[in-house]
Amino acid sequence: SQQGEEDPQALSIQEGENATMNCSYKTSINNLQWYRQNSGRGLVHLILIRSNEREKHSGRLRVTLDTSKKSSSLLITASRAADTASYFCATAFNAGGTSYGKLTFGQGTILTVHP
Amino acid sequence: NAGVTQTPKFRVLKTGQSMTLLCAQDMNHEYMYWYRQDPGMGLRLIHYSVGEGTTAKGEVPDGYNVSRLKKQNFLLGLESAAPSQTSVYFCASSYGGFNQPQHFGDGTRLSIL
């Protein structure tokens, strides 16, 4: 399996601090995506980074990708209580054109931001 | 726009009963997916569809069937529910394949007694 694995499993910080979550995977990928899930809700897409990209930004989010180390990180700057959620990385690979958009999700990092 | 809508939101079944979960999307997406989410397991793909009239098996298809008779709808069926199928089920859709973000519904919480 080339399932992504997030680290840490849980992260607790104070409002205003930065939060960094890491994702490692096992096989070559086409792209890596980060999703957020609030309690009791569905997943919401945050950022997609392709295998030929090294860094992407979206507002307070910064994602890096190191394909040589098969790892990615998600940085949330100046965190807010509303950022409290679970964060998942998902990897997509193209197995000879048969992947058809299949994503493999990690187990997630639970982020708690205290006011 | 509603995005991806799942019905029902909650359901309790007895072992051996059958039911169908409905997913509807209003974004004209070609691809649709059914996942299950269990504690400590992340999301696992059950079945998916790359277009109207097509279905394919995902990672954990056993005990489930699907149908995509209309582009906007993707149905997940449990023919004979088992306690191991107690889970939260998520439907998702995407415009294209693996290069596109997936849009998720809010899930169906299913308990099998």
- Per-residue pLDDT reduced to its tens digit, B24-67: 999 999 999 999 999 877 899 999 999 999 999 999 999 999 99
Q: Please list every residue in chain A whose beta carbon sits closer than 8 Å to the beta carbon of residue B103.
A: 45
What is the C-alpha to C-alpha distance for residues A17 and B8, in angstroms, rounded to an integer?
Answer: 39
pLDDT of residue A96: 57
Share above pLDDT 90 across residues of chain A, in percent, rounded to a whole number: 78
Question: At a CB cut-off of 8 Å and minimum separation 6, what does B3 contact?
Answer: B25, B26, B27, B103, B105
What's the whole-number mean pLDDT along residues B75-100?
93
pLDDT attached to residue A98: 52
Is any Cβ of chain A less than 8 angstroms from the Cβ of B103?
A: yes
Whether the pLDDT of residue B3 is over 50: the answer is yes
Q: According to the model, what pLDDT value does residue B1 have?
A: 63
d(CA B19, CA B30): 25
Determine whether the interchain pair A41/B42 forms a contact, defined as Cβ–Cβ distance below 8 Å.
Answer: no
pLDDT at A107: 92
B97 touching A (Cβ < 8 Å): yes
Task: Write down the residue that tokens 């499993």 correspond to.
Answer: A9
Tokens 């509303």 belong to residue: A82
The torsion angles phi and psi of A95, rounded to 5 degrees, stand at: -90, 80
Q: What is the pLDDT of residue B42?
A: 84
Q: Give the separation between CA B103 and CA B113, rounded to whole angstroms.
A: 30
For the segment B61-76, the average pLDDT, to the nearest whole number, is 97
Contact B102 A106 (CB under 8 A): no
CB A70 within 8 A of CB A106: no
Chain A contact present for B75, CB below 8 A: no
Question: Which residues, in sequence order, are CB contacts of B47 under 8 Å at separation 6+?
Answer: B33, B34, B55, B56, B57, B58, B61, B64, B65, B66, B76
Residues of chain A with pLDDT under 50: 1-2
